[in-house]
Structure 1
């Protein structure tokens, strides 16, 4: 034991000193803030005593009014503080002077410097080394929650399956039961929340809870996915050092970076990735191993190869998007690389992967692969791929949203069409419409479809898709839903209006909910939630009692169902049908008068 302690102390001292005997930052968990690399962590402040119930955009606009342009805002839900980072020291200091002591909505704000986050990997290494030196003492409870589990004796294939498809060894009927149970719990919680914010609904809620096992509305049997394996038409793969030690490995990360893990395992044995995608991954991995460029390291921010995204379709088309950090490479070097990549996948060893659309994405050091402001360059093949859904054809561009399980999406959209009670006098508002799949699938049954979508590429695809399917009663608007929706809604004079919303995981912006509430001619709303728990605030705001802030009659949930778009995982889609409350009596109208709260 003595020799082990001496050895570990020697290793720690070696990482703490360089060859000249000078102290190095090799084991410093804040090393990344001291190098010549941009990180907003060193320009971070904490704003305390914020007003309750403000949103991200509320805080952003407030800061903008004071001449501040934050780099990043992290607001802590219903808590009254936020972390705000800036791009330089000058802006950070200016924010502290401009905001500290300011009165906002009855609250006096307080601003103080915030400590940067410790690098998770270095923190874990230091904790592990310290624990070993101290005789293997277990980490504290807080440390244990920050770390990855101890090394497992299970094969890597089992370990990665547990990460990306955690229900892979659970019978499918049991998977469906668990997902239905989760939606049932959401509806039970909704009943409690609605009762707390709208006392007028309590008699109705009492009857609903008695009839539907404490839920606010009936929950229909869950709809299963027609296919339970190899269903993903879009997969995102990280590029890093493999868990087996192989460099330049393309696959899924075995753990979370914040838990101290960067190891990557290939998708070869995963059951939700189709064979054609696995072939692309293997060929691409073979290719990058022939290049002199290293993988990007989230620990040091050095290296180049970052991510591979593969999209496939039932029409046998394949799109590959390669995310690459140029670092200090000159344009000529990048052009040589792109030409090499094109030759490899069109004429070389990678031709058999069947890639029909190839993109090269210049990904900056601190940028996220999910943002749309990246330099996305078309390298080879077609600029898009095409998919068939419910007998219709859809064009899909690199950044356009399309449900990742095409067959299950047909089940989902068919249910939406059945619930919407459409006829030729109906106008459908398709909010967060992506490539227009929902609205276009319903267009022949209604008078008009109006879609709203943030991504410009997706809007262009949606317009093309409407035209290619011979539809002339469909229009699409590009912009943030909270900016576009109120204007579009106010311009509609249709006596029969139905809204269908399919927002991102975080739900709709509060401005959209308020606009929906004000539009009294909007009687029916179908909400598609990929995370019903995260959308709870939306559900409650649709149903809460009218007030000076929330105007218009509330909605009631009248029907719900889960649809399994993600077999082998814990996730599913939930559909909720809301109908506007129609208060007929004078007494009930009196209850709808705005309150002062």
Structure 2
């Protein structure tokens, strides 16, 4: 089929929008083209790299008229690295675009043009916020490389620093990279499925100052194990746990099933909103601790608890939102499909002295009906699903049992909007939406939504 726009064309156009991945959007004769690195309001020259039936892609060549919101990215590997998408956009500009992203899906998908979408709650210092880094290692030309994947590829960009991860992660990343060669330990080659070290996962507790290092290896037998442990301890005294995780499968999944403690208790602690959490190597825990408190405080505000309510926390994970709710609720029932997370949630409730919580492993759409069958009744439901949104069976369960208030915490505005439309059609009314910037410099945005039974 012939298009008005052809591959390898050099074109000039005005950028009219950003995609959810942070690429600029231009239209040539009504045909959309997505151009990474271009910003709304700019006039750019670009080369068409790919054409599909309904849209195409371009490579930015020159910015002819720059946006007032364009800034010089401080990261030396931006934009080749896939970790950040919008470092070239001022932080005020980022917050404005993220609000627009949420507003657009509320209008287009949820069909809720009159529901307020508030300005995004951002950070005072939107750098060095990540408390978890997952760094791939590989062999290249006889030396070890480590860093992050080049955008859209599995090719590692060798780097010494990342400006959105902790300084502790930088130190560990560099130390292991330069120390492996001296110790004669090979990094992983995913094409040949050979080598030893696959990933290094670094977790830090902002409140505690504790650091955990997880060495993801291809084999259980660990050559020079004591030397590697000493190497890490020597450069970072705050490392309190060093763990080996064995992943012998040829897969893109980072961690395997077997975890072996090498040093320390195997957990670190952190505190959010006065609540202490124990975090293991595989625990789900929000990446940005400062904004997590903002996010969960907003969920607590929308829950509007007086102390008499029974609350369900679906997708409860290790109990982070549950324990925030338990401060003000009569009782909180948490459900999560991952059994280890439920064990973590029970331990976290015990550590913090919460006797008004109950946690159960299973699918929410199976467990919640059983609670009702056992005579429980709930006033408020909180959901914090993965990016794919709520399971359709859970949405049907919600509409069957009809708690009077829902607080929906979302990491994907599009699936949030889809689910809101279903809940609206089932008798709920969306009151307002508060976006929160959990991932500055990236195109992602989270949102907390308040719904009431009509």
TM-score w.r.t. length of structure 2: 0.79
Q: Distance in 1 between matches of 2:142 and 2:237?
A: 22
Maintained 8 Å contact 1:502/1:528: yes
In the TM superposition, 1:214-293 aligns within 5 A as: 215-241=113-139, 247-257=143-153, 262-268=155-161, 270-293=162-185
Deviation of 1:580 (Å): 1.6
Q: CA RMSD in A?
A: 2.9
Q: Distance in 2 between matches of 1:150 and 1:173?
A: 23
Which segments of 5 or more consecutive residues in structure 1 lack a partner in the other structure? 1-137, 193-208, 210-214, 545-552, 582-597
Larger relative contact order (Cα-Cα within 8 Å, sequence gap ≥ 6) = 2
Deviation of 1:286 (Å): 2.3
Q: Distance in 1 between matches of 2:61 and 2:177?
A: 26
Q: Distance in 2 between matches of 1:147 and 1:341?
A: 45
Deviation of 1:335 (Å): 4.3
Deviation of 1:149 (Å): 6.6
- Partner deviation per Cα, 1:253-312 (whole Å, 9 max, x = no partner): 12333xxx51322251x3211211111111121232224343222333333321111110
- Residue 487 of structure 1 corresponds to which residue in structure 2? 370
Q: Which of 398, 402, 411 does residue 294 from structure 2 map onto?
A: 411
Q: Distance in 1 between matches of 2:413 and 2:289?
A: 21
Q: Which of 463, 468, 474 does residue 346 from structure 2 map onto?
A: 463
- Residue 541 of structure 1 corresponds to which residue in structure 2? 422
- Residue 86 of structure 2 corresponds to which residue in structure 1? 167
Cα distance change on mapping 1:501 and 1:226 into 2, 3 Å: farther
The reply to whether residue 322 of structure 1 matches residue 215 of structure 2 is: yes
The reply to whether residue 364 of structure 1 matches residue 256 of structure 2 is: no
Q: Distance in 1 between matches of 2:107 and 2:441?
A: 25
Which segments of 5 or more consecutive residues in structure 2 lack a partner in the other structure? 1-47, 63-72
Q: Distance in 2 between matches of 1:502 and 1:305?
A: 33
Deviation of 1:146 (Å): 12
Q: Distance in 1 between matches of 2:248 and 2:259?
A: 12
TM-score w.r.t. length of structure 1: 0.61
Deviation of 1:191 (Å): 4.1
Cα distance change on mapping 1:311 and 1:525 into 2, 3 Å: same
Deviation of 1:160 (Å): 5.2
In the TM superposition, 1:151-550 aligns within 5 A as: 157-159=76-78, 163-192=82-111, 215-241=113-139, 247-257=143-153, 262-268=155-161, 270-314=162-206, 315-326=208-219, 334-346=221-233, 350-352=234-236, 354-370=238-254, 374-491=257-374, 493-494=376-377, 497-520=379-402, 522-544=403-425
Maintained 8 Å contact 1:162/1:168: no
Maintained 8 Å contact 1:307/1:323: yes
Deviation of 1:139 (Å): 7.7
Deviation of 1:240 (Å): 2.1
Q: Distance in 2 between matches of 1:538 and 1:359?
A: 39
SS of alignment partner, residue 236 of structure 2: helix
Deviation of 1:351 (Å): 4.3
Larger fraction in strand: 2
For these two proteins, the number of residue pairs brought into alignment is: 394
- Partner deviation per Cα, 1:152-191 (whole Å, 9 max, x = no partner): 9x99824357632222232211111000000000110234
Deviation of 1:252 (Å): 0.6
SS of alignment partner, residue 76 of structure 2: helix
Larger fraction in helix: 1
- Partner deviation per Cα, 1:79-113 (whole Å, 9 max, x = no partner): xxxxxxxxxxxxxxxxxxxxxxxxxxxxxxxxxxx
